[in-house]
Amino acid sequence: MNASVRRARGLSLVELMIAIAMGMVVVGALLALYLNVTRTNNEMAKMNRQIENGRFAIQLLRSDVEHAGFWGVYVPEFDDLTTVAAPLDAPTALPDPCLAHGSWDADYISNLIGIPVQGDAGTCALPNRQADTDVLVVRHAMNCVAGVGSCEVDTPGKLYFQSSLCEEEISGLAQGGSANTIILDKDAPSPTDPEDYVGMLIRIVDGKGAGQSATVTGYDVGTKTATVTPSWTVAEPDNSSVYRFGLGYVLGTGGHVLNKRDCGTRADKRKFVSNIYYVRDYATTPGDGIPTLVRSTFDLAGGALAQQAAEPLIEGIEGFRVMYGIDSVAKGGVTVNYTQPVTWVNPYHKVTPTNRGDGVPEGDYVNASGVVCNGATNGTLPDRCTASNVVAAQIFVLARSLESTPGYTDTKTYQLGDLEMTPLDKRFKRHVFATTVRLVNPAGRRDTP
């Protein structure tokens, strides 16, 4: 009887307290484990997003820079090794990306085409730009034809690039002329509307009167006579004069009357692309403190062609630096000079030019201050316009986590090219991402055996 009573009386108070204490230890350990796992998962999520943002930023920038200088089938004269005369389109000034479209003249357009990347934002307003970060301007034609396939439809009023492959349309042998006229080649195509020629630049590139240029102000279809202004001042053209229309392309909202090689089918139209990348100090709301890579695109809005307000692309991009590789020396060690026709090591084989670049940057990469176009007239382009000789770019971005890490202090400095950054807000983790990009189009045009 006593034994059965003892077996039924349960836990003592001491035993219960010991059990509770042991349970609390186990629960505490589990709670600590849970908190540590949660904290680790949160940090891993932050790190993964930081890495994803950094890699995406590099990928996005790289892709656009690789397209820089793409103009369909068109090759700028100063990069065309088949041109026999001194090129007339070598850039002379850095174009202002935000110059009002109505103010663009032939020289400005030529500079746009000849300088596909630059780090100077000109008069562009870049509100809330992050301190100590670069600007990158990238220009090219769309890599698809307007209105074809999934490409944006051909929209009246937008800016399009079109180049000609019709030899008779691009150039020809004049039949004669006067002080303010030139009679085009007998095989020159006749436009359906004589006004198609009006406003086009015409140049005499060889023969009598070579080196002169004028603008067509009228055209007689029957006699193939173009009236020009200003008048020819050096010599009037005759039947030895070789002329060229413009530089072989149209960049505008109209006048896209150039043709393909058959001289009867309109050449492709491609939308003009001008993207400005920079970092601003907020993501969606001013003051939110999240640095963000943004992009301003050139487009038609409200009836006006202009750089549009920046759109956010990738959050957490705190640093941005671009270094440029300059190709200013030919294979033979001679400085590039576009004021002269192409000269060759062997004028019969014409394999290696001695006064044109070879597509490979020389020396150290330079920051935007070294990519200039100052208009000097010393006869050597590298001193006058290194911007037209950029063939490669090194891109650096500093990606920051979007949320701070409790108890973490960032004591590191970060090297972005020639720029050393020491972040002010040390509660966030960071990482530098970098890549080197070859400007395939400008560099590829200079490749020689």
The closest of 356, 333, 331 to 343, measured between CA atoms, is 356
Are 93 and 206 found together in one domain?
no
Q: Specify the CATH number for the domain of residue 167.
A: 2.40.10
Give the mean pLDDT per block of 10 residues along the chain (449 residues): 57 80 85 76 80 96 97 92 84 93 87 95 94 96 94 94 86 92 86 73 86 87 91 92 84 86 90 97 93 97 93 96 94 85 87 90 92 61 74 97 89 95 92 96 88
Q: Which two tokens stand for residue 298?
A: 């050139």
Contacts of 279 (CB under 8 A, 6+ apart): 129, 130, 133, 291, 292, 293, 294, 317, 318, 319, 320
In this predicted structure, what is the pLDDT of residue 381?
Answer: 44
Specify which residues 438 forms β-bridges with.
392
Count Cβ atoms below 10 Å from residue 15 Cβ, excluding itself: 10
For residue 156, is it within any domain?
A: no
Q: Which stretches of 281-381 are assigned E, i.e. beta strand?
A: 292-301, 304-307, 311-315, 317-326
Classified as helix, coil or strand, 101 is helix
Same domain, yes or no: 185 and 66? no
What distance in Å separates the CA atoms of residue 143 and residue 408, rounded to the nearest whole number?
Answer: 46
Which residue from 315, 358, 312, 313 is spatially nearest to 334, judged by alpha carbons? 358
Q: Are residues 244 and 350 in the same domain?
A: no
Region of residue 246 (phi > 0: left; psi between -120 and 50: alpha; otherwise: beta): left
Question: Which of helix, strand or coil describes residue 310?
Answer: coil
Beta bridge partners of 301: 304
Number of domains in the chain: 2
Residue the block writes with tokens 């990738």 = 314
Residue 234 is given by DSSP the state: S
Dihedral of the alpha carbons of 295, 59, 435, 369, in degrees to the nearest 10: -10
57 and 129 inside one domain: yes
**Bridge partners, residue 432, by sequence:** 398
pLDDT of residue 378: 40
Domain that holds residue 379: 51-145+269-446
Cα–Cα distance between 373 and 370 in angstroms, integer? 9
25 assigned to some structural domain: no
Q: pLDDT digit string (tens) for 90-106?
A: 898 999 999 999 888 87
The reply to whether 111 falls in a domain is yes
Are residues 321 and 347 both part of a single domain?
yes
CA pair distance 269, 163, nearest whole angstrom: 8
In a domain, 29, yes or no: no
Report pTM.
Answer: 0.84
- Distance between CA atoms of residues 346 and 147, nearest Å: 46
If asked whether residues 187 and 282 sit together in one domain, one would say: no
Residues 212 and 284 in one domain: no
pLDDT (tens digit per residue) in 32-70: 887 777 777 777 777 888 999 999 999 999 999 999 999
Rounded Cα–Cα distance for residues 50 and 141 (Å): 32
| Residue 301 and residue 210 share a domain | no
- Decide: 147 and 154 in contact? Cβ < 8 Å: yes
Do 130 and 228 fall within a single domain?
Answer: no
Let me know: does 63 contact 82? Beta carbons within 8 Å.
no
